[in-house]
């Protein structure tokens, strides 16, 4: 399967699970991802003190991360002139538009963003970068649309090379429990079998930082959460 067909199959999968995606996500993460998302927003606002014209959330899905950008900005009395969600899945974006009618959404791939050069202050992608087939191209595109000194914020399930008791628990949950639960809620077990497989085929945190460095970013903050289930990487455009 070539890259274009592989990417299209991933998009179609998300179109299929869009109606139940939020419910499944909350159940499978047990709501812990809320704290991960808030932490990513707060750490970024600590670093980026300029006025914020635009925050772009790539692979925005149903818009959850955009909601947390707005909530955490309001708490800090930070004015964000515009929030834009970008996703290639029409099903996910349609759900997002219903949840957040005041946010802007556009259908587009991560590798070809409909934005001018150096127009965004912050660009985030939450649990979506491993679904981008042409990741190197996407990182170059992120660098293109970000202002100099702007930040890319990545939340992702990175590959874990560690072994031991906690690794075994994580492995059992991801490979046995998650596909069953996700499949039951969404009626699409294949989609939730894809998740642990996509993590295993993804990068370690160090590898991800190396790719960002090549694309023109300096990593400033890295933190893993909940037995290394999730990692946040915040990097500034040089």
Domain ranges of the chain: 3-160+203-237
Residue 58 has pLDDT above 80, yes or no: yes
Percent over 70 (pLDDT), the chain: 89
pLDDT on residue 30: 72
Torsion sign across C-alpha atoms 161, 28, 42, 151: positive
Give the tens place of pLDDT for each residue, 214-234.
999 999 999 988 666 789 999
Total-model pTM: 0.87
Q: Measure the CA–CA gap between 150 and 235, rounded to whole angstroms.
A: 8
Angle, CA of 233, 88 and 50, to the nearest 5°: 40
SS (H, E, C) the chain: CCHHHHHHHHHHHHHHHHHHHHHHHHHHHCCCHHHHHHHHHHHHHHHCCCCEEEEEEECCCCCHHHHHHHHHHHHCCCCEEEEEEEECCHHHHHHHHHHCCCCEEEECCCCCCCCCCCCEEEEEEECCHHHCCCHHHHHHHHHHHEEEEEEEEEEECCCCCCCCHHHHHHHHHHHHHHHHHHHHHHCCHHHHHHHHHHHHCCCCHHHHHHHHHHHCEEEEEEEEECCCCEEEEEEEEC
Residue (of 200, 235, 32, 45) closest to 125 by Cα position: 235
Name which of 70-84, 140-154, 167-181 the model is least confident about. 167-181
Q: Strand 52-58 and strand 80-87: pairing?
A: parallel
Give the tens place of pLDDT for each residue, 131-171.
899 999 999 999 999 999 999 999 998 766 666 666 677 67
Q: How many other C-beta atoms are found inside a 10 Å radius of the C-beta of residue 148? A: 10
Q: Measure the CA–CA gap between 85 and 107, rounded to whole angstroms.
A: 9
Q: Which top CATH class is 3-160+203-237?
A: alpha beta
């Amino acid at each position: 399967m070539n890259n274009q067909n592989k990417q299209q199959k991933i998009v179609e999968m998300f179109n299929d699970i869009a109606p139940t995606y939020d419910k499944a996500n909350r159940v499978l993460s047990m709501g812990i991802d809320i704290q991960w998302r808030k932490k990513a927003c707060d750490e970024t606002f600590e670093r980026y003190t300029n006025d914020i014209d635009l925050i772009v959330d790539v692979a925005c899905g149903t818009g959850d991360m955009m909601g947390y950008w707005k909530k955490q900005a309001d708490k800090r009395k930070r004015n964000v002139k515009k929030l834009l969600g970008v996703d290639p899945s029409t099903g996910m974006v349609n759900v997002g538009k219903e949840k957040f009618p005041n946010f802007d959404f556009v259908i587009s791939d991560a590798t070809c963003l409909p934005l001018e050069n150096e127009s965004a202050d912050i660009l985030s992608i939450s649990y979506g970068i491993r679904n981008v087939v042409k990741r190197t191209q996407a990182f170059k595109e992120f660098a293109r649309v970000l202002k100099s000194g702007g930040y890319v914020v990545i939340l992702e399930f990175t590959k874990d090379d560690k072994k031991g008791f906690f690794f075994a628990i994580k492995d059992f949950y991801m490979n046995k429990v998650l596909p069953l639960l996700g499949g039951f809620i969404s009626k699409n077990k294949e989609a939730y079998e894809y998740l642990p497989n996509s993590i295993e085929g993804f990068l370690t945190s160090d590898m991800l930082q190396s790719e960002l460095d090549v694309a023109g970013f300096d990593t400033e903050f890295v933190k893993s959460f909940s037995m290394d289930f999730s990692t946040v990487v915040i990097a500034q455009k040089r």
